[in-house]
Amino acid sequence: MLIARDLRLDVGTRTLVRGAAFSVQSGDRIGLVGRNGTGKTTLMRSLMGDVEPTEGTVLRSGRIGFFSQEAALPELEHPDATALERILMAREIGAMQRRIEEARARLDSLEGEERDRAIAKFSRLHDEFEAKGGFVAEAEAKRIASKIGIGNDELHQSVLTMSGGQRRRVELARILFAETDVLLLDEPTNHLDLDAKVWLIEYLNSYKGGMLVVSHDLPLLDEAITEVLALEHGEIEHYRGNYSHYLVERDARRERKEKERKHQDEHIARLEENIRRFKGTTDKMAKVARAMETRVDRMKRELVEVQKSGKKVKVVFPQPDPSGRVPLVVTGLAKAFGDNLVFIDIEFAVERGERMLLIGLNGAGKTTLLRILAGVETSDLGEVSLGHKATVGYYAQEHEQILEGVTVFDHMREAARLPDQTLRTLLGTFLLADKVEQNASTLSGGEKTKLALAMLVASRPNVLLLDEPTNNLDPQAKEALLDALTLYEGTVVLVSHDTDFVAQLIPDRAVLMPEGEMRFFDEELLDLVALA
């Protein structure tokens, strides 16, 4: 169970949350909603104990599992831990299994009585592991991993060698496998395909503990939650029902407040008019006017507060200098990681102004191919050729270009040699104007996405390589990005599992990975996008 009492959270001189009071108890399924940058992730980290509140307290009981939206490499129990070991370590049996494997490995190097003692130790560990349900639990861990898209080969892969998306799936499996009383989930559906999302919603609906989830995945919020905590302008407001009900009730509450405020303002205006009339007349009426002034002062202190609508993100990609007719040519690309062949003999050419979509299941090599196109990864075979005057801008889904210890403004300066005022104005359109001196690595996931997009806008490329650009974005920011890409006259190569976003962007062609088959885009391919 979690209980938050009068929480206040400050970042620098900015107050993110004030006066927050709520609880997460067994059976609660709560969605924490709000625009990017309102403080949802900071609040979650404070509930977990990773961030100390400026004021207030958090009471915790039972076992709490926290799934972070960040894909940073976790602190591993063993440097060479596999994905399966990482998941199993969420329970005591994980450490036991590691001791069993270490004991097994020692047997070959021992002889005589020392070997006999080692065999006896191995046997005891094995029996203890079995008695504690280790083999049943391992099967359960594998089942959960499979349901959220972790293949058998990935289970035995070192976590150190995994991509950010793979690590997030491993961490999600670990949290779900752990025997928790409360789940804190921050954007859990990022990097999950459609089947995995459906399974996760079913799992959360059957979860017996308390749950607080941050997500911009509207189906998840509609199907897996029964309450909403809305964080706006630093304050939390409670709503019953799912996300769709919240939207209706939020607008109704706002309308009621606006009507009540209008009535109060009109009443105050009438009293002030009478005060002006009475003040210059008789002593008796002047006394009445003073009484009215006291009443007006009290009414002004008790005015219903109607929050202004938040500012909106504005995304505009400047029309770039045109490239040649074929800005990007891929010839005979192949890539493998150790014994894992990701793809081979990929060939295609992208024409100026084209929107091309890379489609494939998790692990099909979409991100790897995009990284090769961007020049941040090398292929084992083949080459990528840029056409005449082609300039590439790359958006990495794991925000790899956002560096630890570098301010938001210095990231912008590195992206483009533009006047400081121009860069500040650009950051303002992405609602980052108040964060220019902040360490960029401390931004929320949605804010990192906005910074990465602002850096792309500043660099004015004529070829955009975008890897899941809608992850972590709130609905308004996602709509702004879609509008910007629709008007952009350059070339776009996109990886996305967001079917609505892809359908509205209307790509020209698609490359099906890992085979590399080229097809003209049609609505039938949206089913494959959902599985990506």
Order of all β-strands in the sheet with 340-350: 340-350, 328-337, 381-386
Least confident among 79-83, 233-237, 466-470, 476-480: 79-83
Q: What is the pLDDT of residues 382-439, one digit of tens each?
A: 999 999 999 999 998 888 888 889 999 999 999 998 899 999 999 998 888 888 898 8
**Distances in whole angstroms, Cα of residue 380 to Cα of each of 65, 377, 486:** 40, 10, 35
Q: Are 227 and 31 in contact (CB under 8 A)?
A: yes
Break the chain into its structural domains and give their ranges: 79-179, 328-530
- What is the per-residue pLDDT for 236? 92
Q: Tell me the C-alpha distance between 396 and 358, whole Å.
A: 14
Helix (H) or strand (E) holding 427: helix 420-429
HSE value, Cβ hemisphere, 13 Å, CA-based, for 350: 32
Section 72-81 average pLDDT: 70
Bridge partners of residue 78, in order along the sequence: none
Residue pointed to by tokens 């958090």 = 58
Residue pointed to by tokens 């006896």 = 120
420, with CB counted inside 10 A (0-12, 13-18, 19+), is: exposed
- What is the per-residue pLDDT for 382? 94
Q: Which fold has domain 328-530?
A: Rossmann fold (3.40.50)
Section 33-49 average pLDDT: 88
Q: Please report the beta strands in 289-430, taking only residues with DSSP state E, as ranges in sequence order.
A: 328-337, 340-350, 355-359, 381-386, 392-395
3-state secondary structure at position 329: strand
Angle, helices 134-147/112-131, rounded to nearest 10 degrees:
60
What percent of the chain shows pLDDT beyond 70? 95
Q: Which amino acid is at 3?
A: I
Q: Tell me the C-alpha distance between 285 and 524, whole Å.
A: 79
Bridging pattern class, strands 64-67 and 55-60: unpaired
Least confident among 173-182, 193-202, 232-241, 283-292: 283-292
355, with CB counted inside 10 A (0-12, 13-18, 19+), is: buried
Q: Read off the pLDDT band of 356 (50, 70, 90).
A: very high
Q: Tell me the C-alpha distance between 63 and 231, whole Å.
A: 25
Residue 56: name the closest of 65, 47, 64 by CA: 47
Section 224-235 average pLDDT: 90
Q: Are 356 and 508 in contact (CB under 8 A)?
A: yes
Q: Which amino acid is at 192?
A: L
- How many CB atoms within 10 Å of residue 68? 20
The pTM score is 0.73
Residue 191: what are its φ and ψ, rounded to 5°? 75, 5
Q: Are 80 and 156 in contact (CB under 8 A)?
A: no
Whether the predicted pLDDT of 511 surpasses 80:
yes
Longest dimension (CA), the chain: 116
- What is the per-residue pLDDT for 124? 77
Bridging pattern class, strands 355-359 and 509-512: parallel
Whether the predicted pLDDT of 113 surpasses 90:
no
Residue 48: name the closest of 82, 9, 83 by CA: 9
- What is the per-residue pLDDT for 263? 85
Q: Read off the pLDDT band of 353 (50, 70, 90).
A: very high
DSSP letter string over 473-532? --HHHHHHHHHHHHH--SEEEEE---HHHHHHH--SEEEETTTTEEEE--GGGHHHHHT-
- What is the per-residue pLDDT for 385? 95
**Distances in whole angstroms, Cα of residue 127 to Cα of each of 96, 121, 132, 366:** 11, 10, 9, 44
Whether the predicted pLDDT of 74 surpasses 80:
no
